[in-house]
Amino acid sequence: MAYPKKRGTGRDVHYTAYFAVAPQVYEPVKDPETGRVKKFDTEKRAQKAADDAEINYKVAQAAAMAVAETYGTPADMRGSRDLPAFAAYADRWYGRQDLARGTMDYYKRGLENHLIPYFGEKRLDEIDKDIVAAWERYEREEAGNNRSSIHNWRSLLHTVMSDALDEYPSIGRNPADRKRGRGRRTNRHRRAAVLAAPIIGDFDGLLLAERAAVLSRRPDEFVAETTRRWCGLRTGELWGLQTKCVANGRIHVEAQLTEIDGAQFVEDPKDESFRAIDLPPFLGKLVEDHIARASPRSCPCHGLTFVFSGRPRKNPKSLNDGVSLASVARHLGVSKRTVQIAFGSPGQISEDTRRRVLDAAGELGYIPPNPNEIQPHWWRGDYYKWIYVPAATGTYTPHRKGEPRRPVVVDATEFPGVPVRGPYAARRASGEWSPITNVTRPHWNRHSHRTILTEMGVPKVLIDERIGHSDTSVQAVYTHVTQKMRGDLVEELEARWWRAVDARLALHPRSVVPLLDEILYARAKEIGLSIAA
């Protein structure tokens, strides 16, 4: 059955159309001139294009069958070369896999979005090294995808073709093979540049956590980023941390929160890396005080109580597709401003008008924004775009590829500055944030934590346990973690934290983040430093 599929987010939303070519096998509608997947601006147009393409395909198939009955099929002439098309084989191959949900989703997106659109109609034996090289150039130069993503998709192609070669030896060889040393040397330089990027130190991590709290306008993200930084947690493990897993000075990593096709799932940690992480006293208190202050509730989606929740709901919800504030205004023949005032924005309207707006919204299925409603979880993309990247780099992520990054402009009256938003923000601001690090991946905190543990001289067996890495070497099997190792590690981490706090105190004695301000004030009092209350 033909169907449309929504792609992109924000201003880049568009639709693609798919039609059936075999049971459970679908092809995208392509532009006949360019051969590229066609984009549609509305779901309705995509559905019509998909229906038309499916009808045309069935008509063509019926005609081909009529010809085959009279003259025979091309397969009769090919003999041993009668191999399936890549799309048909890839569908069967995917159905045989039994892997983690996240891996299956990654394979599905790689096949549907990048491999099948290019190789789908080609027989397995028609795919050669020249075609693979041409595909790589297309992905890099025309589609504008980065080299690391293309490398991963080529690895997926290699895996699929390797299994196909086992089933159909007549293919000859795997066209996605790449001899060592034959890749583009620019990849090596890029990899070297990433490895040479400075780690996020203790002081930098404190500044980053402070900015995260400023951007979110609450202390929760200060605690979350501090926990990530000092425990080396993966992002999924951080958002999947449950209140029952914080006890006796330890965090027990028992789950991760994953995102697949617009839904969030609670799954085992990556590579089943269940573990207990010893917390230095400062962090144990931070997390326990956060739980007491925030009073997390069981989320409606999973029935579990998580330590960290998402942001307040600033966007409206629609029970029916396409219903917006403008839809409500058009339905009643009033201005959008009138609808906003009815939902609580400053301004005056009659009670009768307010009631009409509320009734119409309920009838159409429109639910206005509610800052008092906290979303159960952060979405990875939202947090990355609006919290982590601005905090780390001092710039906002561009809305579209190729657009320049916009600096985070702030009112610098209080330290470290409060972001100024809205029209003419740059004119109203009195400063802007400088970058803390140029590495935008939150996962770099995990790299940094392990590097610092190594620098501290922590035994490798304890580092592996804390990070969740496995080591099957003889040395690892015969070396065990002792209580002294744990005690020494916690003691050193505690000392490093207070050195970072002292450095932050020297930079500026106060903070616009109340939680950090309390820590700085108490620390100043402890070391005999006088600051204004």
Q: Is residue 193 part of a domain?
A: no
HSE at residue 10, side-chain half, CA atoms within 13 A, is 8
pLDDT at 196: 60
Q: What is the length of the chain?
A: 533
**Beta-sheet pairing, 25-28 with 312-313:** unpaired
Please tell me the predicted confidence (pLDDT) of residue 263.
85
**Domain final position from 316, 333, 364:** 364
Is residue 394 within 8 Å of residue 407, measured between CB atoms? yes
pLDDT for the residue numbered 225: 98
Residue 194 counted as domain residue: no
Alpha helices in 115-219 (DSSP H): 116-119, 129-137, 147-167, 185-196, 202-216
Residues 55 and 91 in one domain: no
The DSSP secondary structure of 491-510, one letter per residue, reads HHHHHHHHHHHHHHHHH-S-
pLDDT tens-place values along the chain, 533 residues long: 788 888 877 667 888 998 887 766 778 898 877 778 888 888 899 899 988 888 888 888 777 676 555 544 444 444 445 789 999 999 999 999 988 888 899 999 999 999 999 999 999 999 999 999 999 999 998 888 888 899 999 999 999 999 999 999 988 889 999 865 555 555 555 555 555 668 999 999 999 999 999 999 999 999 999 999 999 999 999 999 999 999 999 999 999 999 987 789 999 999 899 999 999 999 999 999 999 999 999 998 899 999 999 987 655 555 556 677 788 888 888 988 888 888 776 678 888 898 898 888 888 888 776 666 678 899 888 999 999 999 999 999 988 777 889 999 999 999 999 999 888 889 999 999 999 999 889 999 999 999 999 999 999 999 999 999 988 888 888 899 999 999 999 999 999 999 999 999 999 999 999 999 999 999 999 999 887 76
273 found inside a domain: no
The predicted pLDDT at position 50 comes to: 87
Q: What is the predicted pLDDT for the residue at 510?
A: 95
**Which contacts qualify for 335-343: CB closer than 8 Å, 24 or more apart?**
343/368, 343/369
Number of domains in the chain: 4
Domain that holds residue 355: 325-364
98 and 177 part of one domain: yes
458 and 518 both lie in a single domain: yes
Contact 184, 138 (CB under 8 A): no
* Residues 39 and 91 placed together within one structural domain of the fold: no
State which of 183, 203, 238 marks the end of a domain. 183
52 shares its domain with 95:
no
CB 116 within 8 A of CB 150: no
Instruction: Say if pTM beats, i.e. exceeds, 0.85.
Output: no
Q: What is the pLDDT of residue 371?
A: 60
Could you tell me the two tokens for 329?
Answer: 């205004």
Say if residue 32 is in the same domain as residue 118.
no
Q: Is residue 332 part of a domain?
A: yes
Three-class SS state of 124:
helix
> Residue 353's domain is classified under what CATH number?
1.10.260
CB atoms within 10 A of CB 178: 14
Same domain? For 54 and 124 the reply is no
Does 317 map to a domain? no
Is 338 part of a structural domain of the chain? yes
pLDDT of residue 123: 93
Looking at 26, 44, 71, the residue that finishes a domain is: 71
Residue 132: inside a domain, yes or no? Answer: yes
Within a domain: residue 466? Answer: yes
DSSP H or E segment with residue 373:
strand 370-374
pLDDT at 190: 52
Predicted local distance difference test score (pLDDT) of residue 78:
41
Task: Give dist(CA 129, CA 137) in Å, integer.
Answer: 12
CATH code of the domain containing 160 = 1.10.150
